[in-house]
Structure formats: C-alpha cells, structure tokens
Structure 1
Amino acid sequence: MGLFAHRDYRRLFGAQVIALFGTGLTTVALGLLAYDLAGPDAGLVLGTALTVKMVMYVVIAPLAAAYVDRLPRRRLLFLLDAVRASVVLALPLVSEVWHIYVLIGLLQAASAAFTPTFQAVIPDVVTDEAQYTRALSASQVASTMESLLSPVLAAVALTFLSFDRLFLGTSAGFLLSGLLVLATRIPDARPSAHSKAWDKAAAGIRTFLRTPRLRGVMALNLVVAAAGSIVVVNTVNHVRDQLGGSQSGVAWMLAASGSGTLVAALALPRVLDRIAARAVMLTGAGVLVAGTGAALTLVAAGIATWAGTAAVWAVIGVGMALVITPTGKVLRASVARQALPEAFAAQFSLSHLAWLVTYPIAGWLGTAAGFTVAWSVLAVLAAAGGAGALLLWPRRDGRPTAAVAAESARHAPSRDRSALAKAA
C-alpha cells in the first residue's frame, strides 16, 4: 500500500499542510506588522517576538512530552489548534509593540506543545520503515512548499488586501487542521518508562548527550539557526530599507529561500536511500556555512542586489533542507519506539534553543550595529556548529549499526528491543 493510500496518514498530512500554510502567512504578516509599528526598528521587534517564541519552545516542549502519555493525543492536538486559531485572530488588533510579544507567547506555547506531539504521532501511524522515510520527506516537502508558496500567496494577496487580513487565513488554517486531526484515528501514547514528570522531560536530553550521532545533530541545529535567522529576521529590513522593495518584495524574497529548500527536498528521498544521513546532513552544514558567508560578503562589500540576495537565500534554503529532512530518521534509528515522544520533544527544544541564541543576534545586534556585524557573528557560529558536528558525530556512526542498536536496546523496555535490533 502506498503512503498516501493510508487514510489516517493522508488526513494527518493534510492537517499539517493546511496549518503550515496558515503559519507561513503569519510569518509574512508578522514581519510587516512589525515594520508598520516600528519602521526601521522592525528587526528589533521581530527579533524580540521570535525570541519569545523560542523561550516558549524550549520550556514548553519538554513539559508537554512529560505529560502527553496521560492525555488523548487526538483531542489534545485539536485543542491546541483551536487555541492557535483564536490567538491569531487577535494579532491584527494590536496597537502597541508589547501586545505582539504577549500574543506571540501564547501562540507559541500552544505550538510548542503541538509540534513534537504531532511528530511523535507519525511513526505510530506509519509503522513501515520505508514508508516512514518517505513520510519524513513528504513532511519536508510540505514545509518547503509552504516556505515557497506562502510568500507567493501573500505577495498576491497583498496586491488586493492589507497585510492584517493575512492573519484571517492563518486562523482558518489552524481550524481546518484541527478538524482533520479529529477525523483521524490516532493511538494514544504508550506509557513512558519514567514515572516522574521531570524524569520524562529530561530523558530525551540525556539521550542526546549520550548518543554520538545525536550530539552531532545538536551541533547542526546551531548551523541551521545561524543561517536561518538571517532569512527569517532580517529579510524585511534588508528588502525594504537596503533594496528599496515593497511589502510584496519581502514575500518574494522569502519565496526565493523556499525554492532552494523545495529543490533539495524533492531530491532527498532517493538520496537518503543510497547515502548515509551523516553525509547528507554534514553537506547541508557546509552549504549553510557557505550561504552565510555569501550573505555577509554582499552586505560588507555593499554589493547586495535583488538577484544576488535571491541566489544566496536559495542556497540557504537548500542547506536547511539537507540538514532538517533526515533528522527524524536519525532520531527513529537512535531510540526505542516508546521513547520517541521524549526524543522528538528534546530535538524540538534543543533546535529552538539554538534559534534562541541566533534570533537576538540577527534582530537586536543587527538593529544596533548593522547587518555586517550581526552576520559576521552568525557566520562564526555557523562555522563552529559545522566543525562541532564533524567532531561529535563519528564517521563510523553514519548509519545505524548493530553496536548502536544494542546500546539503545540496553536502555529500552524489553518489548522495544527487537525493533531496535531490526534497525541495525
């Protein structure tokens, strides 16, 4: 049976796509709202709002993982979608910058609980290893299509509508996503081997710290965040103030980054069948380091153009896809099935901890000292993350091996040991 012949996965995938497009419209609208309220200081406002988002992700995701096995996941996911839809409706009504911070905090607290829970549902619905690999790639393609098409849709919509109307599309997306989740058969989480909430929250972090390949993933998170912050935080000011572009120009430049991600994501399923995830992800890190350096060169030398910026943004999009897409497969090969919610929540928090470092650099330092200084710091961080991944992720650990599976099995409940052995 093909992946999309699976009814429950098809509905979950539809829910993901719809919510992603809603989120993409919010990303564009939030940047324009920040520019509307703060003008040249939009990067500072957006950087602060995204820092609030990262704090919520880092704090809430492990706590959600600690309690998710006590709650019906289908109803929980619907409730979180409903909360996000309600909060987004209030964003167009803000008149002060601090209103943005409060609403973004509420919105992202719900997202921080939703995303790792949703990620952990997929391997319970798609149990075949080959189909799960394709489900990961399909998920990345969906994210890529959102990053490409949402800005395009926003650019078209902004021709006829004011940017605050984009928030209405986001709210509708979250509601439709929740309805599709309600129509899906989702098994409840298996009881965790850890009885105390703190033990559950910390279990995924401990797994990352003791597993070489996952330590490498932590370093790669920094590379992604350093390069991605330039695109997410600084595009609006770079396009509006340095390139003299319009609101639609901001959306089209974000679409350039999405186009690079799309090209890479479409090629990755076959690539990952033949090449180790380590090689693919480290290549992605190299691409991101190069892209960050190229962005720095454009602004430092004063040679930034529409075409040059779009090309660099596309390169960064390619690198992000190469790193992010195989991550779920690496996680699944590294932990017992029962521990997947904790592992996904840990990756969610650790990856966003890296963004918590880089967002203020792009937003606050970029506003105070200029893009050249801020992007120099981000380029150094990207290079440090890439070097760290090379050192922390041994070459022999590039694919699941019997030794790695046996190590994971020693920490797994007996009913999960056979599954881990098969992963070898």
Structure 2
Amino acid sequence: MSATLEAPELASRWGLFAHRDFRLLWSGQTVSRLGSSITSIALPLVAVLALDAGPTAVGLLTAAAWLPWLFFGLPAGVWVGRASRRSVMILCNLASAALFAGVPLASWLGVLTLGQLLAVAFLTGTAAVFFDAAFHAYLPELVPADGLIEANAKLEGSASAANVAGRGLAGLTVQLLGAAAGLLADAVSFLIAAATLRAIRARPAAPAAPPVRGALLREVREGLAFLWRDPYLRAFTLYGAAANFALTGGYQSVVALFLVRDAGIAPGWVGALASAGALGGVLGALVARPLCRRLGTARGLRIVLLTVPPVGLLMPLAGPGARVAFYVVGLFGVVAAVTLVNVVLASFRQSYTPPALLTRVTASAMVTGYTLIPLGALAGGALGDLVGTRATMWVMTTLLALCGALPLASPLRTLRDLPGRPDGSGPSDSRS
C-alpha cells in the first residue's frame, strides 16, 4: 500500500477526512490531547490540593516535564530518523499510559509524594520528546505537501476542541472525584491513541540503515547547522523559544495559583475557564487556511503576530465576579494566535526542510524552544514567591506580546508567502 495519500484524492468533499489512515491518526491524537488537557489542569492541582505545594514546587513540576528536551532532544532527532516513526509513537503512548496510571493508584493508597509527581512529569516528558520528533516527521509521510496546512489545521483544531472539553472535564473531575482521578483518564487516552496508530495500514519506506559509529554528533550538527543557517527557520525558532518561555513556562507555572488564590476562582472552575479560552484555538485552526489563501502565509503571520498576542495583557486583570471576563478574553486571543501560528509554521517546516534532515531539524527547533520552558517555569515560580502571582502574570503576558516582533528580523517582513524548499522544489517567494 502506498505510504502517502494521493494528491488528486484531496479534492474529496471531506478533504483528508475522506481517508481512513488520516482519520485514524487524527482521532487518536484528538483523544490523546483530550486526556493531556485534563492532566494539564489536574497535575498541578494534585500538587496544590493534595500536597499543599507552593509556587516554587509547581514551577519545578512544570519544569520537570520539559527538561527531557534538554537531555534527549537532539539525540532523539537522530535516533527517530533511524527507526519506524509509528513504532516509536506507539511505544511512547504505552509508556505514558503506565506512568500516569500510577499517580491515582498511589493517591488512593495514601503514598503519593511530590517526588513521584516530579518523576512522572520527567518520564512522560521524555516519552513526549521521542513522540513529537517522530510525529512531525510521520505526518509528511502520510500526507502530500499540498495537504500539510489542511492536516495541521485539522489536528490543531481538534486539539483545541479537546482542550475545551478536557479542561472542563478536569474541573468537574477535580470537584467530584479529586485531582488524581483525572490522570487515570489521560492513561486511558494514551492506550486509545496507541491502538489507532497500530490500525494504520500505510507503510512508509523503511528507515535508513544505522550509520557508522561516531556519526551521531555529525548528524546532530547537520540538523543544527541547517536550522541556524536558514533565516526563516532561525527566526521562527527564536520566536518559539521566547513564546514558550513566557507562555508555556512562566505563565503556566503560576496560572492555577493565580486563579485560585489571587483572582478568587473556585478550584472546580479553573478547568472551565481554561476551556472557554481554549475555544480560541478552535477559531485559530479554522481561520488558518482561509487567512493564508487570502493574505498569503507570510503576510498573514505578520498581522497575527503583531496584533493578537497583546490581547493577553487582559489576563492579569482577572478577579472575582465579572472581572473573570478579562481572563477569558485574554486567553481566547492568545490561544487563537498561537494555534494559527503553529499550524502555519509546522506546515512550513515540514514542506521546506529536506526529508533526510526533517527529524533532526524538527528536534533541533523543539530543543531550542522547549529548553526555555523549564527556565520560564522556574522563573515564574521564583517570581511568584517574590512578587506574587498577579505581578508574575503581568511580566509573562508582556513578554509574550513583545516576542511577536522577533520573526520580523527575517525576510518574512517583505514577503507575501513563505518560500519553497531551498533546493528549488515547492512554491517560490511572492513579494508584497
């Protein structure tokens, strides 16, 4: 069976949803993201409610989930390039399922500790390193280049919808069954995702034979060199790193404490508020493709990056009663912008990077971006202890608004559309 979907078939009324293998990949990822969105609320609340953790401890927990990128990210880009992407993803899902299932078990037995939570965060983060490196290289094996924006938009859109449902379920679960029970749902979601991957029929070409001893460092250097020499990939990577420091690291490490202790929000409503904001991700995914067609990929990115993230400055104004609307509107705008940018940049990297370098370039970009997440988490936790969580929210949302200007340091500022592959394949530059 062919490894990829044939391009003429994409004219189907349902687009990629007409194809069984993409439906399986999409459905498994959607269920997995549903479980992960529950965990994103439940895990810090386990620390806060069950173990009475403070800002620094919650910051350490966030950092532990992202530190594996620093240790394993670059080698993973090489190792995944030598293996079956699908097999790597299945193994990572199974490992994560077992690890998350252990948390509610320990809680029910009365032996749960912060050390176990940190270990689970680190080990599931390690599984995520290998899964993400494999996934971003697997999608172009399954979908032709002209379907990548559609594929990424569908995946990001369903992920955002899963965040809406998952975070709402997280709040309900915390309220009724306790925070640890939410992690059991995530374990089940990983098992379902592994089963859908196993059911995919398409078989990509076999990976390259393992290179000779000593090639690991050379292959890592090749991926890094391609990333940092290219003005587009370099600018987008720097933007992703800065945004991750502020949003995924610093903001995420204090938001639960900010909402519960400073804004006066009941713990059971934390997930519901996150769900309301996550609707912005659905909007961002829906408009990504039409926006790029109408304005161009480069011009559309410029407009979104410079105008939407500053809406996040409303979030620190949140408080009891009607003031909670500031948080919802700010989060809605930020998530919409981040989702749209992720769709366009992921599709660009997948179609622009030579296939032989894709896993290494993807891993290099993720290592650069994700390495700053634990630093942001630690900074957010330390600032939260020093100046309070509301002041920390002001710092992180301001940084996020400013970092949208970073891609303008590349030729992006003069283009209508992002360029094709450097070897000449793909669409050419279109200047405004």
Do they fold alike, i.e. is TM over 0.5? Answer: yes
Q: Is the 8 A contact 1:69 1:192 kept in 2?
A: no
Q: Is the 8 A contact 2:41 2:167 kept in 1?
A: yes
- Of residues 81-90 and 366-375 in structure 1, the stretch that sits farther from structure 2 once superposed is 366-375
Q: Where does residue 142 of structure 2 map in the other structure?
A: 125
Q: Is the 8 A contact 2:297 2:418 kept in 1?
A: no
- Give the secondary structure class of the aligned counterpart of 1:217: helix
Report the structure, 1 or 2, having the larger helix content: 1
CA separation in 2, counterparts of 1:216 and 1:250?
Answer: 34
Q: Normalization by structure 1: what TM-score?
A: 0.87
**2:230 is matched with which residue: 201, 205, 211?**
211
Q: Where does residue 75 of structure 1 map in the other structure?
A: 87
Q: Where does residue 253 of structure 1 map in the other structure?
A: 273
CA separation in 2, counterparts of 1:125 and 1:373?
Answer: 46
Q: Is the 8 A contact 2:299 2:417 kept in 1?
A: no
Shift of 1:61: 2.6
Quick one: which amino acid aligns to residue 201 of structure 1?
A: V
CA separation in 2, counterparts of 1:272 and 1:367?
Answer: 43
Q: Where does residue 136 of structure 1 map in the other structure?
A: 152
Shift of 1:253: 1.6
**2:126 is matched with which residue: 106, 109, 124?**
109
**1:28 is matched with which residue: 37, 41, 51?**
41
Q: Where does residue 421 of structure 1 map in the other structure?
A: 425
Q: Where does residue 299 of structure 2 map in the other structure?
A: 279
Alignment CA distance shift 1:169-1:20 (3 Å): same
Q: Where does residue 100 of structure 1 map in the other structure?
A: 117
CA separation in 2, counterparts of 1:216 and 1:109?
Answer: 26
CA separation in 1, counterparts of 2:203 and 2:425?
Answer: 26
CA separation in 1, counterparts of 2:23 and 2:257?
Answer: 39
Quick one: which amino acid aligns to residue 290 of structure 1?
A: P
Shift of 1:223: 4.6
**2:161 is matched with which residue: 131, 136, 145?**
145
Q: Where does residue 68 of structure 2 map in the other structure?
A: 56
**Unmatched segments (≥5 aa) in structure 1:** 410-419
Alignment CA distance shift 1:57-1:423 (3 Å): same
**2:375 is matched with which residue: 338, 357, 371?**
357
Q: Where does residue 294 of structure 1 map in the other structure?
A: 314
Q: Normalization by structure 2: what TM-score?
A: 0.86
Alignment CA distance shift 1:25-1:189 (3 Å): farther
- 1:178 has 2:194 as partner: yes
| Identity percentage of aligned residues | 18
Instruction: Please show how residues 292-331 of structure 1 align to structure 2 within 5 Å.
Output: 292-296=312-316, 298=317, 305-331=323-349
CA separation in 2, counterparts of 1:254 and 1:231?
Answer: 13
Count residues with an aligned counterpart: 406
**1:375 is matched with which residue: 393, 410, 421?**
393
Alignment CA distance shift 1:380-1:159 (3 Å): closer
Alignment CA distance shift 1:303-1:198 (3 Å): farther
Shift of 1:190: 4.2
CA separation in 2, counterparts of 1:349 and 1:194?
Answer: 23
Alignment CA distance shift 1:266-1:394 (3 Å): closer
CA separation in 2, counterparts of 1:380 and 1:222?
Answer: 15
Alignment CA distance shift 1:367-1:286 (3 Å): farther
Q: Is the 8 A contact 1:220 1:385 kept in 2?
A: yes
Shift of 1:29: 1.0
CA separation in 2, counterparts of 1:346 and 1:178?
Answer: 26
Alignment CA distance shift 1:224-1:276 (3 Å): farther
